[in-house]
């Protein structure tokens, strides 16, 4: 496993600490973000709800890194988000969400492309089970 680039370390730490400013600062200008829930976006303001919605739903957000591949200014990361529910039906639920992302870093080391993949069915199944 390669070493996690600083911008990704910052972004993941910000996710875990629900730190909106640090999260948004990890992204370059311009950037492209795509994930199963938000689709494709280049709108910086569309990043903000990533933290506010996460903070609303989860009382704890931890990330276990499985694999990191660094290839020039591209990298790929594989990780599991370990979430403890706070509200919106997730109260008391523990959810493990396997994720991966392909990332392009800009010349200043920030995130120019974030292409994330995960199964939203994990949430549906957790809610049904809970």
Partner 1 sequence: MIERRSVPEPVLRYLDAWRKGDPLARAAQLADGFVFSGPLVRIEGDLPGAQSLFARESARWGDRDYALTHRVGSGDHLAIGYRCTMTGLEGEDAGVAVQLPVTAFVRIDGNRIGAWRELFDTAVFARARKAAAAGRGSMQKGSA
Bridge partners, residue 70, by sequence: 75
Q: Which two tokens stand for residue 129?
A: 């089970």
Residue with smaller CB distance to partner 1, 25 or 125: 125
User: Is 80 within 8 Å of 98 (Cβ atoms)?
Assistant: yes
Q: Which of 22, 24, 122, 127 binds partner 1 (CB under 8 A)?
A: 122
Angle at 68 between CA 63 and CA 70, to 5 degrees: 140
Bridge partners, residue 81, by sequence: 63, 97
Using CA atoms, how far residue 31 sits from 40, 52, 106, 120, 121, in Å, is: 11, 20, 9, 23, 27
Least gap, CB of 87 to partner 1 (angstroms): 22
Binding mask 56-95 for partner 1 (x = CB under 8 A): -----------x-x-x--xxx-x-----------------
Residue with smaller CB distance to partner 1, 42 or 117: 117
Angle at 92 between CA 127 and CA 34, to 5 degrees: 55
Binding mask 4-43 for partner 1 (x = CB under 8 A): --------------------------------x-------
Q: Which of 13, 59, 84, 100 binds partner 1 (CB under 8 A)?
A: 100
Q: Which two tokens stand for residue 18?
A: 């629900």
Q: Which residues bind partner 1 (CB under 8 A)?
A: 36, 67, 69, 71, 74-76, 78, 98-102, 115, 117-122, 124
């Amino acid at each position: 496993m390669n070493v996690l680039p600083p911008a990704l370390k910052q972004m993941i730490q910000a996710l875990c600490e629900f730190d909106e400013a640090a999260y948004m600062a990890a992204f370059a200008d311009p950037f492209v973000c795509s994930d199963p829930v938000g689709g494709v976006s280049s709108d910086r303001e569309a990043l903000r709800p990533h933290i506010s919605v996460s903070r609303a739903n989860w009382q704890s957000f931890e990330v276990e890194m499985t694999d990191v591949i660094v290839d020039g200014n591209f990298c790929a990361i594989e990780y599991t988000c370990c979430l403890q529910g706070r509200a919106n039906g997730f109260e008391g639920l523990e959810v493990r969400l396997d994720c991966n992302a392909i990332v392009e870093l800009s010349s200043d080391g920030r995130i120019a492309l974030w292409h994330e993949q995960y199964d939203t069915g994990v949430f549906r199944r957790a809610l049904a089970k809970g």
